[in-house]
Amino acid sequence: MNTVAIDRSPAPKVRDLLLIGAGHAHVQVLRSFLMQRPSHCRVTLIIDRPVAVYSGMVPGYVAGQYRAEELEIDPLPLARRAGARVVFGKALRIDPAARCVHVEGRSALKYDVASINIGSTVMGLELPGVSEHALSTRPIGRFTARVAQVDALAAALGGARALRLVIAGGGAGGVELACCFDARLKAKGVRAHITMVHAGTQLLPGYGNSIGDRVARALGSRGVQLVTQRKVASARADSITLDDGSVLDCDALVWSTGAASHSLFADSGLPTDARGFVLTRSTLQVVGHDDLFAVGDCAALVDYPDTPKAGVYAVREGPYLADNLRATLLREALRSYRPQPDFLTLLNLGDGTAIGVKKGFSFEGRWAMRWKDRIDRKFMRGFQLLEADGSDGPAVRMLPAMPAGMDIVCGGCAAKLGQSALERALARLDAPPAAPEVVLGLDEADDVAAYRIDAGAAGGSVMVVSVDFFRGFTDDPYLVGRIAAENALSDLDAKGVTPRWAQALVAIPLAADEEEGEEVLYQVLAGARAVFDARGVRLLGGHTSKSMDLEVGFSVQGVSAAGAVLARRRGALAVGQQLVLTRALGTGVLFHADMAGRARGPWIEAALASMLRGNGAARSVAGAARAATDITGFGLAGHLVSMLGGGSVSARIHVDALPALPGALALLARGERSTFHPENARMARALAVDPGLRDDPRLQLIYDPQTAGGLLLAFDAKDVPDALAQLRAAGYGEAAVIGEITAARPDGAAAEIVR
């Protein structure tokens, strides 16, 4: 008799790898994992900005040689294709004993292995007035976003006199910026007087006299004044004071001093050198912490303490880091990194030429700039997966296909039973028994239930109850918990009712072991508590179970004031009233694209910010509306038709007035659709749609399923200006009038959709 052996050994434990920062080394790690993902490993990328900027091309951007998007790396699609989750937030502290990272605005994240690649900041920002008035070159992304401020200052002068620009710092960055700002301002026809303040006696210390002499000539030919052996002591809006007491008039101050360490390391108690940079061994592991790595400008190699703070080293460390992280996870031998004793330096002079030095030999010319441009563009091509409009970049064609199962059915409010099926199922039920205390129940479709709890009192208080439950739409359980809480509170917000209590419904993934299940539940409830506690809602308890995927929901309750009108207020809708939408649409299509690595980081960051804003601050405005509903899984079209209620009035929606989240229209125009979108689009049969809108992505926006969406409110026309003012003051800057209530249409259409 043949027997089959059954392997009953426990599944290997999934180990957590945290990547803190999206610097030059970490994007290489993600690309390496994209090509060959380590087994039994969950990778999480923590970033405080949705886009990383390549430092080598920043001077060229200042000179107008590159567009902003050409020097940006979007780590989100890279991470998605590598199977990594992304957490937006700033790492505040590392607890190496507990193996966790504390992140701003959320609960701590545990790790088995972690790596830090956050670059450096600049020295002297603590000096009086510097952080307030200087244009600091770190963080790089903030610097590039503020370069146009120099243009604005020049424009304000109107040519009355030369713009007085001071560059603090005589290193490679300061030299490039002096030359490239000179090129930028000349191209704009701006007269400028540029001064460089340098603490040393010689520019580019450590690079040798040969390149120093070339740089001095280049600056001299541009009229750049050098002030050496001096430091900036303080800054004001129109001047700087040097350490000898002298004062320089200054319209714009660019701060490009030497590298300084982030407070993350000191706050974490990790070993550092005298300047505060975390100490690492040649394996790139933090000294005394084999499960913690650090690379790039934030780290100092104990075996090579004189290694300069230059991006080239982070680039060279990338492959070593990827190999050593994989080896640590697999408990294999690690490689030792040895920084090259010399490297090619190419300085962009802003006019199409560059100065270079290698092994003490210097050179310059247009050919040198072409060489630098080729090197920089080649590096960037490997990481720019999406174009600025979200379409595939050239790098996508060089990558393997997305892993099977990545492009799956949407979660959030896009994962629900269709509206028509729901209505048919409810219609098949027998009428519920009479219950005089019920204000809103099964016999009247609504987003909430309501019943009297003290009928003997004058008017009677009413308990208002709602429940919402969805499958996780992203792989961060803390974020799912926060947004599920906001989504659950939204129905009461639409009614103008203050929520007071909540109970949780959480299904943990079947694949999670006990330890992982505990962590997932903790993260979900911590996220929910962050919302409930801020809103004064008490989480009372709940129920947990297991399912194929993470599923989270909440039942929320609140008590209405006696005599409050809680019904849908269909009878209160009247011709001429205007419809106000409080927040932008597009979460469904954005998160569907995100699952497949087709959404840009800034788009998802904006969508999350909108979802996390919630509707609590709009509750009082909603309470004054004639009718209100929140926009969730059935999309704007489905919830509008439901609010209109069946024939006494109709509505006209102007699609050009619809606010859209960044990226949503671009994705819809390319045919991207949430998996629940086709079900919602069936609502077109109840609408009269302008034929000219057939190919307009804004038409598709009304069918896009929303998770934790905004409110749709109906107001008398005279009340709209005040309502919009209140909404915008409460943080809903996108609130807009999108249509009006009209007389019932002869053709029976619930609403008309026009441009």
CATH number at residue 287: 3.50.50.60
- Closest to 402 measured CA to CA, from 78, 32, 26: 78
The answer to which of 14-23, 115-124, 210-219 has the lowest mean pLDDT is 210-219
Do 630 and 668 belong to one domain? yes
Do 266 and 336 belong to one domain? yes
Question: Averaged over 303-312, what is the pLDDT?
Answer: 88
Judged against a pLDDT cut of 90, whether residue 394 lies above it is answered with no
Residue 511 lies in a domain: yes
Digit-coded pLDDT (tens) for 88-105: 999 999 999 999 999 999
Domain of residue 700: give its range.
570-754
For the chain, give the percent of residues with pLDDT over 70.
92
pLDDT of residue 697: 95
CATH number at residue 382: 3.50.50.100
Residue 702 lies in a domain: yes
Digit-coded pLDDT (tens) for 251-279: 999 999 989 999 999 999 999 999 999 99
**What are the E-state strand segments in 188-323?**
192-198, 225-228, 232-235, 239-242, 247-249, 252-255, 259-260, 278-280, 285-286, 289-294, 299-301
Judged against a pLDDT cut of 90, whether residue 211 lies above it is answered with no
Do 395 and 533 belong to one domain? no
Question: Averaged over 64-77, what is the pLDDT?
Answer: 94
Do 668 and 519 belong to one domain? no
Do 243 and 275 belong to one domain? no
Residue 405 lies in a domain: no
CATH number at residue 649: 3.90.650.10
Residue 602 lies in a domain: yes
Q: Is the pTM here over 0.75, yes or no?
A: yes
**What are the E-state strand segments in 568-707?**
578-581, 627-630, 649-654, 687-689
Residue 424 lies in a domain: no
Digit-coded pLDDT (tens) for 325-379: 999 998 999 999 999 888 889 999 999 999 999 888 899 999 999 999 999 999 9
pLDDT of residue 309: 85
- Which backbone phi and psi does 170 adopt, to 5 degrees? -110, 25
CATH number at residue 468: 3.30.1330.10
Digit-coded pLDDT (tens) for 537-591: 999 999 999 999 999 999 999 998 655 555 445 458 999 999 999 999 999 999 9
Digit-coded pLDDT (tens) for 283-296: 999 999 999 999 99
Average pLDDT over all residues of the chain: 90
Chosen domain end from 341, 357, 376: 341
Tell me how far the alpha carbon of residue 253 is from its chain's centroid.
Answer: 29
Do 105 and 145 belong to one domain? no
Do 155 and 104 belong to one domain? no
Residue 74 lies in a domain: no
- CB-CB contact of 88 with 605 (8 Å): yes
Residue with tokens 């026009």: 754
For the chain, give the percent of residues with pLDDT over 90.
74
Do 348 and 329 belong to one domain? no
**How many helices, marked H, and strands, marked E, lie in the chain?**
22, 39
pLDDT of residue 733: 95
Number of domains in the chain: 4
User: Active-site residue 413, yes or no?
Assistant: yes
Do 387 and 332 belong to one domain? no
- CB-CB contact of 45 with 103 (8 Å): no
Do 355 and 233 belong to one domain? yes
Who contacts 524 (Cβ-Cβ below 8 Å, separation ≥6)?
477, 478, 480, 481, 484, 504, 506, 550, 552
- Tell how strand 41-47 and strand 85-88 pair up: parallel
Do 326 and 368 belong to one domain? no
Q: What is the dihedral of CA 626, 629, 635, 641, to 10 degrees?
A: -50
Digit-coded pLDDT (tens) for 687-721: 999 999 988 999 999 999 999 999 999 999 999 99
In the set 41, 100, 298, 413, the catalytic residue is 413
Residue 226 lies in a domain: yes
DSSP-derived letter for residue 158 is T
Q: Compute the distance between CA of residue 607 and CA of residue 591 in angstroms, rounded to an integer.
A: 9
Do 553 and 576 belong to one domain? no
Residue 434 lies in a domain: no
pLDDT of residue 413: 59
